[in-house]
Amino acid sequence: MAREVEPPVEVALKAGEFEEIRQLAHRTFGLDLKPGKEQLVAARLGRLMRAGRFGAYRQLYRHTIEDRTGEALAAMIDALATNHTAFYREPEHFRFLADRAAAEWKGRGVVEVWCAACSTGEEVWTLACALDEVLSPGRVRIAATDISRKALAAAGRAVYAADRCAALPPAWLARYFAKDGAGGYRVRPEVRSQAAFSRLNLMDAFHWPRQFAAVFCRNAMIYFDAETQARTVAKLAASLEPGGFLFLGHAESVPERPADLEYVRPAVYRKTDKRGGAWNRSS
Please give the angle made by the CA atoms of 212, 257 and 283, to the nearest 5 degrees.
60
SS3 breakdown of the chain: % helix, strand, coil, rounded to 5? 40, 20, 40
Residue 81 CB contacts under 8 Å (≥ 6 apart), including other chains = 29, 31, 147, 148, 151
The pLDDT tens digits for 141-170 are 999 999 888 899 999 999 999 999 999 999
Report CA 281 to chain centroid distance, whole Å.
28
pTM (two decimals): 0.81
Residue ranges of domains in the chain? 15-80, 92-271
pLDDT band at 274 (very low <50, low <70, confident <90, very high): low
What percentage of the chain exceeds 70 in pLDDT?
A: 92
Residue 38's alpha-carbon distances to 17, 45, 60, 218, in angstroms, are 10, 11, 15, 25
Residues 88, 124: Cα–Cα separation, whole Å: 10
Is 146 one of the catalytic residues? yes
Distances (CA, A) of 106 to 57, 110, 140: 55, 10, 11
Q: What CA–CA distance (Å, rounded) separates 119 from 113?
A: 16
Please tell me whether residue 13 adopts helix, strand or coil conformation.
coil
CATH number of 92-271: 3.40.50.150
For 156-195, the DSSP string reads: HHTEE-GGGGTTS-HHHHHHHEEE-TTSSEEE-HHHHTTE
Considering the candidates 44, 62, 186, 257, report the single residue annotated as catalytic.
44
Catalytic residue among 22, 141, 146, 218: 146
- CATH fold, domain 15-80, is Chemotaxis Receptor Methyltransferase Cher; domain 1 (1.10.155)
Residue 82 CA to residue 84 CA, distance in Å, equals 6
**Among 61-75, 213-227, 263-277, which is the least confidently predicted range?**
263-277
63 vs 60: CA distance, rounded Å: 5
For residue 84, give the 3-state DSSP assignment. Answer: coil
What does the alpha-carbon distance between residue 264 and residue 280 come to, in Å, rounded to a whole number? 9
Reply yes or no on whether 89 is catalytic: no
> What are 43-66's pLDDT values in tens digits?
989 888 998 999 999 999 999 989
